Amino acid sequence: MLETQQEASDMTTTEPQNGTPVRSPRKGARTGPVSELSVFLNVKPGREQLIRDVLHMTPAERAAMEKAIFDVGSLHQARYVLFDNGSRLLVATTFDGDWDVYIDDFAASYILDAWDAFLIHCEGYPDEGKASLTVEEIKEFLTANQVTAADFYMTYSGVTAKEIQKALRVDTAFQQVLDTPGAAEALQNPALKPLLELAVN
């Protein structure tokens, strides 16, 4: 049975205190520890190709981005889709945990700066050379353009990205053990039979 979906965060708006602005309620569906983010943006006229240029990373830029994402450890997948003849942009991701923590983690790395490079070409976001938005202002910008998914399904909804990464490392290490001379004899212990059956399958 599928887990019941819920809002990605139970946070609600708070009353302003000492000039602190009200924070919008967070959006997004959630199943288990995994949440989704779907942001629909209008592209500034004539900026479609500039966004494509930003997203078309060099191998070195791609490697640096993948390392940063791996280090953050909460992202399952992300996609950026230009549609309506390049006039609109979809930013869609799935991630573990709380919405605000997810954005804060991106801000602590350079990932949010990488997003800034294409967000400047979207309506409602400051152009390059103008005062940058704070992290809280970026959160408000994303929330204002986010739509909660009508349905959200994850094949492994109860597993975090870090748990998947760990499982892959364990599998790689175990396969190396199986390829080691003399391993077959050592693995004859009946207690290891379930593990060996899983490895075969």
Q: Which of 166, 156, 148, 150 is nearest to 32 (CA)?
A: 156
pLDDT tens-digit map of 93-150: 999 999 999 999 999 988 998 999 999 999 999 998 777 899 999 999 999 999 999 9
Q: How many CB atoms lie within 10 A of CB 172?
A: 9
Domain spans of the chain? 6-144, 161-200
- The residue-averaged pLDDT of 56-81 equals 93
The lowest-confidence range among 45-49, 160-164, 171-175 is 171-175
pLDDT of residue 21: 60
Q: What is the pLDDT of residue 167?
A: 86
CATH class of 6-144: alpha beta
pLDDT at 168 over 80: yes
Backbone phi, psi, residue 38, to 5°: -130, 105
Distance CA 171, CA 134 (A): 41
